[in-house]
């Protein structure tokens, strides 16, 4: 789960740098703010689940998901209020990028597992 959240953050920041180079700082800030409004609550929930991985109760997951959604909505609203010349297109693109980057998580997880798994069939012992 932490790999998925890390992937969300990295993809959002990399796209933010690309947008900064191509379209400018306000569009990059808007994109990263939109993506960050999704990534931050996901990271907090992932850390909560990781901290209590041995005894996670379904009620904790359900309440955690509702809190995550509420925090995301709050952060989205705060960004719309604080970033005065907000680029709405970039803001929504950041939200979509953060949400859809999770589609890459299984592929990265498989690569991570292959990288960290001990090599079987090595000579010696």
- Which tokens go with 87? 């680029």
- Helix (H) / strand (E) element for 36: namely helix 25-51
pLDDT digit string (tens) for the chain, length 125 residues = 788 899 999 999 999 999 999 999 999 999 999 999 999 999 999 888 888 867 777 888 888 999 999 999 999 999 999 998 999 999 999 999 999 998 888 887 787 778 887 766 555 54
Its pTM stands at: 0.84
Per domain, the residue ranges of the chain are 2-108
């Amino acid at each position: 789960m932490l790999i998925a959240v890390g992937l969300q953050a990295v993809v959002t920041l990399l796209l933010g740098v690309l947008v900064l180079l191509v379209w400018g700082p306000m569009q990059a800030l808007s994109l990263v703010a939109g993506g960050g409004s999704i990534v931050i609550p996901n990271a907090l929930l992932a850390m909560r689940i990781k901290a209590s991985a041995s005894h996670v109760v379904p009620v904790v997951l359900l309440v955690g998901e509702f809190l995550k959604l509420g925090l995301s909505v709050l952060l989205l609203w705060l960004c719309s209020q604080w970033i005065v010349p907000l680029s709405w297109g970039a803001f929504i693109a950041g939200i979509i990028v953060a949400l859809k980057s999770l589609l890459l998580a299984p592929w990265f997880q498989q690569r991570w597992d292959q990288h960290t798994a001990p090599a079987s069939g090595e000579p010696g012992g």
